[in-house]
Amino acid sequence: MKKFMNKAETLVAESLAGFVAAHERLVAFGAEGKFVRRRTLRVGKVALISGGGAGHEPMHVGFVGTGMLDAACTGHVFTSPTPDQVVAAIRETDGGAGCLLVVKNYDGDVMNFEMAAELAATEHQIATVVVRDDVDPGGSKRGQGRRGVAGTLVVEKLLGAAAEAGWRLDELGALGENLNGRIRTMGVSLRGVTVPDTERETFVLAEGEMEMGVGIHGEPGRARARFATADEIVDTILEAILSDLTPERDDKLLLFINGFGGTPVSELYLAYNTARSRCENLGLTIARSLVGTYVTSLDMAGLSITIARLDERELSFWDAPVDTPTLRWG
């Protein structure tokens, strides 16, 4: 295995050090380097904190900044951050209005963020939103149900804008839970993930195979299928998403095509072109779009499609100014 690294055990720390140095205008390390936070915190605003294992960059550290997250906690590759990391972030970023924890629905993330919330509850107001945006797991035996995948970006952007607008902690929590029912994602992989610690792929596909319904930790999906054309792959994903989301013709939709780390941008735009055309042929309105590599699974060759049903207020939150290392507009 060839990777640009010194040692697998120092990869995450060295990468985070480079990230903070490269974006020092926007971010800084928190206490003892346990998390990355906004360089300038805003007193009186609800603080948004998220995180997860390394290997998903630019999520979550790339979303720290004005209009999005106040802090992100990073664990080892595909490993949840520890409760003490989250507690440290809560203590440093709470400006008096409480903290909202945005957590992807994976057992380790949920357990450690819950433990952190319990430890900090005597001193801080805390609410939690568990993101569950992947399509119905179908016949899968996943005990935790829907996972939090690329739709997490949408949730964090909307909640970040609402927090900047002065929404209270309870209002933000309610919005986050409501969004869970209106955002759906499905991914496909053409190659497994090479994990630095093990130096082997998480799953191996034959030349004519692809994995449908994958998560973002290199885990296999819900079905192994025959490799097909891009149009056929997009059609399969859209059928699963739209049957789960059931949008109406007058709904305003956000279409987000996300790369998993090993997919050229040209292929992502090709997938977007097909997905948008299919949606418009069904009479659906694509009101906002995002295409790029934002929620990765290290070097996985693959992509995911996310569709979100948003109302006018939520569209305004999407359009609201954001200034992070990865998302910047307005």
DSSP summary character for residue 97: S
The span from the CA of 139 to the CA of 147, in Å, is: 14
Backbone angles phi, psi at 11, to 5 degrees: -60, -50
Give the sign of the dihedral formed by CA 200, CA 2, CA 224, CA 187. positive
The token pair that represents 51 in the structure block:
């995180």
One-letter amino acid at 308 equals A
Q: How far is CA 283 from the centre of its chain?
A: 28
Is 124 a known active-site residue? no
* Token reading at 307: 């569709």
User: Catalytic: which of 23, 56, 60, 76?
Assistant: 56
Residue 84, burial from CB neighbour count under 10 angstroms (0-12, 13-18, 19+): middle
Active site annotation includes 23: no
* Spatial distance between the Cα atoms of 238 and 226, rounded to a whole number of angstroms: 17
- What is the distance between the alpha carbons of residues 87 and 118, in angstroms, rounded to a whole number? 9
Assigned token pair, 187: 């991914």
Instruction: Point out the residues that are catalytic.
Output: 56, 217
